[in-house]
Structure formats: C-alpha cells, structure tokens
Chains A and B, each alone.
Chain A
C-alpha cells in the first residue's frame, strides 16, 4: 500500500507537469482527490490494514494528498499566469495609431491672454471693473483731462453716435467712472473692447481690446508703477523679460511713459519681430494726472496713483506669433483650434 501511494504520487505529479488547461486540471483533481478518485479509493482500503500500519500509512496518505493539493495549486497558478500572458499577447494594440478625436472646444486667443493678465493682477489684489462701450464723451475725454476741441482728441479717431455719445476709444473711461463711485485705496484693472476709426488690415482693426489698470492710494509713486509693470511683463512674457520706460505724453497721466518689453523673439539682441530694436512697445502708462483725480472727486494733494493701458490683441499676436490681425475676428475653426 505504501508503494501504491508512492507510485500514485509520482505518477500524479508527473501528469501535473503536462496539464495545459484549467479544465484538465479539474479533471485531474477529481481523478485523484475526488470522492471516487484514486487516492480516495486507496484510502477506503485502509480498514484492512493492521493497527500498527494504519497511522503510518494514514500519515503517508495525508502527505501524498498535501503534495497533490500543493501541486494542483502550483499548476493552477502556472496556468492562470500563462492564460493571462496569452490574453495580453493577443490583445496587444498598435499604440502608434491616432487617438480617438475629442470634441473639447478652445478659448479665443484674446480670452487666453486676458485670463493670464487677470490672474496676475488678481494675485496682486486688483479687482476687475467694467464699463459701457457706448460711452459719454465726458468719461472718454473730458474727465480724462481732454476737454472739447483738445487736439489730442484728433489722435484717437473716434466713432460718434451723437455729439455727446461715442464708442469708447480706450478703456480709460472706466477709471473715471470707478473713481466717481469708489474712494481710495483703489486697485482695479478694466478689460474690454475699444473702438477707433481705423480701416481693417493686417495690423489694424477698428475694434480691439485693452486692459486698463488704476491704482490710487496715499503715497503711490512712479517706482510702484515700474515695479508693477515689471511683475506684469515677467508674468506674461517670461521671467527673463525686461521693461523700458520712455517719456511720452498722455493727457490723463503726468509723468507719462510708453513702455517697451525686451523682444520675445530675440530677447533683446534685435530681430525681424522687433525690427532690430530689441524692444517692443506694448503699453502706455503714467502717474494719474491731478485733473483726472479731481474729476473723480479725489484730492490730488492727498492721494496719488498710477494708470496703465495695454492692447491685448497685439500681445496675443506677439505671444502666439499671429501675423494678421484679421484672423482674430474671422473665426476660422482651424485657427481657433490651435490655441
């Protein structure tokens, strides 16, 4: 009987090696360990054994059972692993095939630039103010130190609705409106659409977008303006961007400056984009003119402030390398989906 058991174990373990499928393995288990299995039937003959033999054979039988069960478990693991590997092999994809197209829409490049600028100034404690595009002459010009018949008005080819109502030529009237309704400290940016009577071509549009900035508080200096514009320029054009201020004249600021940033094309060494200058003019700025503060009901002997205004469309064109302004308003899907 002992021999019988040992031979069963040997034969069974050899058989196990050859099993290739899970169902075969189950048949094997039934054949050996099932109620009518070989090992079971041998053990049924245990009754005929002597009392001395019984525990010995019993232990041996258990060992054989354990060995078979362990063998079956190992074989099962081997088969599952093999089956999984086979499945993986079969379902391998050509991962270089193109992905399935998604339908996510894109924001307009002007919105993208505007969002970036808003983020920078929100981070510095500015609020976002808005105002009407069809605007009173008073807020667009007079409150900004440009009385009627002032020659500076001629430089901003204005669309008029009536003598007193016009399409705002800049976002600066929002400054004037805001100062009337709010007391300092003031920190706002005013993004929006502006209008000038320019024919449409690659570099001009009668409608474009600006962001105006206004800060009024006690003791605001031109140094604060320079520092703020530096943060802005680095934020929009990159950490290595430098700015340069040149004296200029605007009626609503004094001192006034035109502000250049180091060229995004060449970093300042001169290239086609900056026409060899190394600098690109992007905004106008200055210390708020005392007359403008006064028009807003703010005492220029107590408060000072700075303001700046920049064109978004040109910045978007520069950032994205767009060479024709008309593309911004044409809305060709192939254009819009690039951003």
Chain B
C-alpha cells in the first residue's frame, strides 16, 4: 500500500522525521518497504507564467520569453515548440540543481537567458503522474496556479511510503487505517474529520432505485447513493496527483472520486451510469449459466453461477467486487450515477477474481474481508467530494440493504493472561490506553471490550497480546530460556545417527555431497533405458508444475546423479566423486500419500575410478554401519548398468534368505552416452532403511591375538567364469576354524596360463586363539583347501 505522506497528515500529525517515522511504523507492525521522495533533487523550480514571447533575432527555433515567476520577471530563451504567451510552466531558476545538472545564466545566440522551462522528464516525473504532459516539450499546467509557487507544491510532489500490509489487516489497506496505526505508534490523537453532505438535488434516493440482494451470504450489505446533474471531466490536480502517487491512474472526476475514497477509507466503490440501469433496479445475484459481460478493461468475460454479479432488471452490469461492466460505464455523457458501496464475501470474491484472472484494487481488498460498517461512511465521503468538486448534485438519502449477521464483538481484557503469554509485566492502565487508541471501547469495571467493526482479526487473548506487544515493542520483552520447565533430552534417533555415519563415511571415502531437485522430467526414464512398463515409471505427478522438466516426483535418484556427473564432465573436471542422501517417492495404490523412501546414491568417474574402487567404498560403508551379513551377487538385469560389471548388494535376513538392498556398478555404455557421461561412469544406489535395519549399534571388543599367526599363500588356475567369491567361500569352509583371514591378492590372465583360464592367488592367515599352531595342522588345512578347490572348481595348483 503506497501512502503519500501529506495524505496521511490529513488524519494524523506526524511530528517526527521521516526516518524515525518509518522505523517506528515497521516496529509496530506496518512494515515499510521503501520511501520514494518524488521531489528529490528538485529545488528552485517554480511556476512561471509566460507574459510575452517574441522570435529570436538570430535563431528560427528559439524564442525569447518574459516570464513572471512571482517575485520577478525573467528573460528566458526557449526552444520548446509547444509554449505560448499566457501558459503556466515550471521554471528552473538560476542555481537550481536538477537531476540533469545545474541551471546557470547562459547566452543563447547572443541573448541572455535566466532560467529554463522544464519538461516532465527534466522534473524526473513520469506520464503515470502527469498524464496531461505533452509528448515532447515543456510541461504546461492545465490548472490555475499562482506564479512563484514551488513546483513541488504545485505538482504535489510528496514523499510516498510503501507499506507491506499483512493479510489479516485489510483495514490498513487505506490511508485512514494507516493513519490510525500511526497515531497509536506515535502516541498522538487520530484526527476524524466530520463528513458533511448537503444533498441539494431534492427527492429521495429510494424514489429512484430499489436494491435486492438474492445471496446475502455472498453480499451482506449493499448501500447506494444517487447523484444527478453529473458533469464528467478531469478531477483537480491535487486529487489526480494523490491517486497517481498511490499508484492509481486518474481517469475522470467521478471514477477518481470513487478510487480516492477507496484509497482513503479502504472501501472499494463503484459508479454506474444510472441511465444504463434498466428497471431502476439493482439486483445482487449469482450469474446465470451462459451469461457474459464485457468488463471495463474491454474483455468479454464468461460468467458462471459461482460468481456474484451486480445486475439490473435484465442483465449483469458488473462482476461484484471485481470489476464493473462496460455497459454501465461512466462516459462524458453521463448525467446521473448510482454510487455503489457494498460488502462482499471475501472467499467468493477471491475465487471469482482467480477464475476470471482479474486482480483489481477492489478485489484484493474485498477478498481479505472488509468492515461492513464502512459502506455508509464511504458513500458520504464520496458525496462530499462530488459536491466539493462540483461534479454533480447528490440526492437525499442512502438506499441501504443491510443483511449483516450479528457477530460476537466483545472480548475480555485478561491482563494476566496477556502478560503470561508475553512474559511481561505491563500494567493494566497501559493496556487500556493502547486499546482505546485502537478504537476499542473498554469498560474498566467489567474489563469487557467492544471490538471495532474493522478489526475482524481479533478473536482471542492471543490476538489481544499481539496488539499490546507490538506497541510495547517486541524488543522490550525480556529474553528468558524456558526457566523452571522440566529439562528434556536432546538426542538424535538411531536412524538420524546412522544417517550421520553414512554421510561421514562417504566423505571419508572421498565423495562430495550433492543436493539435487526432488522433482524431475518423465523423460529421464528414457535416458536411463527403463522399459516402458518398468515400475519406476509410476510416479507422483504434480498438477501445476513449473514445466515438464519439473513435473514428477522422482522415483530414482540415478538420473540426477548422472546429470550432475555429466555437468562436471562437460566442464572438463577430470575426476568427480559424489553422493546424495535424499528421498524418492513411490505412489501407493489406495493410499493418499506416496511412500517416501530415503535413498543413498553414489556416482563417480575419473582417476582411480573402477568397479573395485566403488565396491571398496561400499564395503567401507557396510563396515562403518556394522553390517556383516551380506553378499554381492552379479547383477545382469538392471537396464541402467553394464551387465558384466554390476553387482547387487544382498543383505541376509534373519531366516537365512537374502533381500536386495541396492545395486553398484558401471553405467551401461548406452546410458552413459545418452546422459553425456564419460564411458566409464560408476554409480550405486541403496535403500537407506534396509541398510539401517541391517546395521548394528553395538561393537563387541575382540581380544588381541596372543599366539603367532601362520601365513600361507596359495595360487590356483581356474576357468575364467569361476567367481572369486565362490573360491573364497570354499577356502573358508575347507580350512575350518583355524583360518583367521583370507584375501585375494592377485588375478592373472595371459601367457602363463591357458586361454579361458585365470590364476588366482590368495593370502591366508592361520591362527588359534588358544595355542601356537603346529605346522602339521596348517599343512593339513592347506591340503583340504586344495582338494576342495580341485574338486569343486577343477582348480589346478600353480
């Protein structure tokens, strides 16, 4: 809400500097977003009248003018094509510092000039503010002003304060409402000018028009006045300038007056050309199926029965509270008008305005819920201004159709409760003073208060506490820290601690944490080669997305990881290692909300990145989480991954079966190509819940070995397709308890072994916790191992 300072001053004495005022208002709840000083930098510019004008002897385009600037007569040379003797124009005097530079005495083709006539642009103003300014040339006043008047006064160049008004305070979408807040904030009285209407037209408004409300729940009140002998023309400068400063375009005196009253009192108004109202009847009703109305903006609007309209006996003449119809618009020929001041249901206005795509100054006020008691005052103010401007003669009386239901409008001032909620010790007298300034009627005997009709936001003690707190100043509340309350335990849950373990382990393994968007494009499924019927394609769809690229909630994070890797790769970054811990969302049949699953995704390419590096990281993670019962199995079915270089992580269930907790491997070359990732890109994805379920919080100490270890090596040649995991399992089984550890240390393929075969070498450590092992025991174990490998895999000792 833009409020010109001088307009506010009509209702409140602002006795402090602008900076202090703005700060005080912000701290009492009317946040100031900015202040525009329209007259900034415009000094020593006054109104002048051109008395004489003659041609310049040495230049065709220049003219020499004698200009009356009040205190003296100046000779000014001008090249403006649009001025003539008698015109009132802005004159920048010698010494004036305009945004364009300082004015000096100058000689133009031999003739001295003592000032400059100014255009709109030279005064740093826009056409919104001076709609009557010429396209180019000097601005000419179209209204009588005394020569010598400071142009800031003549053009009402004011300081305009932009207030942010919260949705609960529609009463502050008005100059008067803001003046009320200012008065309480500054501790000065609110001026309440008496409105006087002469009603000179004779007759009664009710003789001219009848009003019928068909839907009182959508329109609790409709009040109207009739004005005759209307003379439509421009409104005076002061009004035009205030409207423009507040951000509304001046149109004509009648429309300007209705807008002026809306800005001043917060009650939207509308003026109908009464000659266009058929049957002398206003009916407030919902639109009929198929009805159309051309609104004031020239657009044909299709109406439907959810919308409230203002109609005459035959047809709609306006969309209630949103915009008037062209069929009853004020024109130059209008002679009689009906002034509407009504109250509409906020929700209904909001929905209609949304449906029609019209947001007007009227609708944005109505939709917040306005004070039904304000309609009469606004009508009277309108009438007063019409009389003041000589824009018409007001007919006696108001036609007021009032169906406002009685509402609870008293509340108890519970001082202890307010202080208890705020943690303050504010005396009752201070509270009463604040509420009276806010126009609550306080009975200090019963402590009951009557809530002013414009404060429908006040419902409970908490609301009262806010009123007190904001004028007491929030920052005067003494800070405390829940003293005297029961102490509470702050601890992460097991799941939250495990998530920390995951992040820490990923970082320790050199992976950097990524954050990607949770919504994505349905096309990503094609880029990762997902078959058309793949369950991951079933996603939660956003009904109003920012675009197709952001239109579904992701069911897998791999495409995002691949995109991030591709981004880094395209920027010539040689190595990238990343992880992300986030959610995927799976729709569940018969359930409103989808299943939200926490997923860990890893991705990498570049230096040292290969399958075993990735697997090593995963093994490190499993160790960190205390997961010991797992297996990696070759995974050939996942369409995203290289079928020969991918494994599934299988976690062992309590019953000995295994469940899949994720996949790790090299990205399928086709997918890598489609996603513009390097050829060798590695990724993994795991269900975090499964990992956490398999994890153990406890670690049991194992005594350090007391007896020496016996190291042995064994190398066997087997067929290529034999899995190392199977060899290891066989070795462990054959060796028995005394085998402490076995690890693969070499795999060899080449000239030393036959084609289709590989040599695998293992390092074994034998140890007993109870005694020093004898050579014979170890030898026997080695024999068993070799026999088992020969028997199961056709292995040959190398």
Contacts and interface: CB of A to CB of B under 8 A. Distances in A.
A88 interface: no
Interface string A239-255: 00000111111000011
B480 A105 contact: no
A125 B487 contact: yes
Contacts of A123: 490
Interface stretch (B232-240, B385-393, B565-573, B645-653): B565-573
Given A106-B513, A227-B480, A162 B543 contact: yes
Interface string B569-607: 001010111110001010000001110100000000000
B350 A255 contact: no
B488 A207 contact: no
B168 interface: yes
Interface in A151-188: 151-152, 154-155, 159-162, 164-165, 167, 185, 187
Contact of B592 (A164, A185, A221, A249): A164
Given A136-B592, A165-B592, A215 B510 contact: no
Nearest to B31: A246
Contacts of B592: 136, 162, 164-165
A34 interface: no
A331 B421 contact: no
Q: Taking each of A128, A149, A215, A222, which has the highest tally of chain B beta carbons within 10 Å of its own beta carbon?
A: A222
Contacts of B517: 206-207, 329
B27 A247 contact: yes
Most buried by B among A125, A133, A223: A223
Given A127-B490, A165-B593, A254-B466, A104 B542 contact: no
Q: How many A residues touch the partner, as a band?
A: 35 or more
A93 to B, nearest CB: 25
B515 A329 contact: yes
B120 to A, nearest CB: 30
Contact of B542 (A126, A167, A300, A332): A167
Contacts of A8: none
A231 to B, nearest CB: 7
Contact of B596 (A128, A134, A256): A134
B515 A108 contact: yes
Contacts of B513: 105-108, 111, 336
A249 B510 contact: no
B469 A247 contact: yes
B465 A254 contact: yes
Interface stretch (B47-55, B545-553, B760-768): B545-553
B518 interface: yes
Interface string A212-247: 000101111111101110110000000000001111
B509 A105 contact: yes
Contact of B578 (A104, A165, A331): A331
A162 B594 CA distance: 12
A217 B516 CA distance: 38
B489 A223 contact: no
B101 interface: no
Given A185-B485, A207-B517, A254-B460, A103 B510 contact: yes
Contacts of B368: 151
B435 to A, nearest CB: 15
A220 B492 CA distance: 24
A246 B421 contact: no
A190 interface: no
Interface in B282-319: none
Nearest to B347: A149
A333 B550 contact: no
A107 B351 CA distance: 45
Contacts of B485: 185, 217-220
Given A126-B490, A161-B540, A248-B31, A133 B518 contact: yes
A337 B512 contact: yes
Interface in B449-475: 460-463, 465-466, 469-470, 474-475
B482 interface: yes
A135 B596 CA distance: 11
Interface residues of B, number: 87
B28 A247 contact: yes
A107 B481 CA distance: 32
Given A105-B507, A231-B481, A244 B475 contact: yes
B29 interface: yes
A289 interface: yes
Given A217-B482, A223-B424, A248-B29, A134 B593 contact: yes
Contacts of A289: 462
Contacts of B263: none
A30 B594 CA distance: 91
Chief secondary structure at chain A's binding surface: mixed
Nearest to B574: A333
B167 A247 contact: no
A125 B465 contact: no
Which of A160, A248, A254, A329 gathers most chain B CB within 10 Å?
A254
A125 B488 contact: yes
B496 interface: yes
Contacts of B481: 124, 224, 227-228, 231
A272 interface: no
Given A136-B593, A159-B545, A331-B516, A104 B507 contact: yes
A289 B461 CA distance: 10
Contact of A255 (B28, B367, B462, B482): B462
A37 interface: no
B65 to A, nearest CB: 44
B493 A128 contact: yes
A304 B421 contact: yes
Contacts of B423: 221-224
A305 to B, nearest CB: 10
A197 B486 contact: no
B514 interface: yes
A328 interface: yes
Contacts of B577: 103, 105
Given A199-B546, A247-B27, A257 B490 contact: no
A151 B585 CA distance: 30
A39 B501 CA distance: 73
A105 B579 contact: yes
A133 B367 CA distance: 29
B192 interface: no
Nearest to B422: A222
B346 interface: yes
Given A155-B167, A187-B488, A246-B27, A128 B544 contact: no
Given A125-B490, A215-B482, A193 B167 contact: no
A146 to B, nearest CB: 10
Contacts of B516: 329, 331
Given A223-B477, A254-B462, A151 B367 contact: yes
Nearest to B484: A219
Given A164-B592, A255-B462, A332-B567, A221 B491 contact: no
A287 interface: yes
26 contacts: A105-B506, A105-B509, A105-B513, A108-B514, A108-B515, A122-B490, A122-B491, A125-B487, A151-B350, A161-B542, A162-B592, A165-B593, A206-B519, A206-B546, A215-B482, A217-B482, A219-B420, A219-B484, A221-B480, A222-B465, A223-B478, A246-B26, A249-B168, A254-B465, A290-B461, A331-B564
Given A118-B492, A331-B578, 18 more contacts: A107-B513, A128-B493, A134-B585, A136-B593, A165-B592, A193-B518, A207-B518, A221-B421, A222-B422, A222-B424, A223-B424, A227-B482, A246-B26, A246-B27, A247-B469, A290-B460, A330-B564, A337-B512
Interface of A: 103-108, 110-111, 118, 121-128, 132-136, 149, 151-152, 154-155, 159-162, 164-165, 167, 185, 187, 193, 195, 197, 199-200, 206-207, 215, 217-224, 226-228, 230-231, 244-249, 254-258, 287, 289-290, 300, 304, 328-334, 336-337
> Sorted from nearest, which 7 A-B pairs have the closest CB atoms?
A223-B423, A221-B423, A103-B510, A247-B29, A255-B466, A249-B166, A227-B479
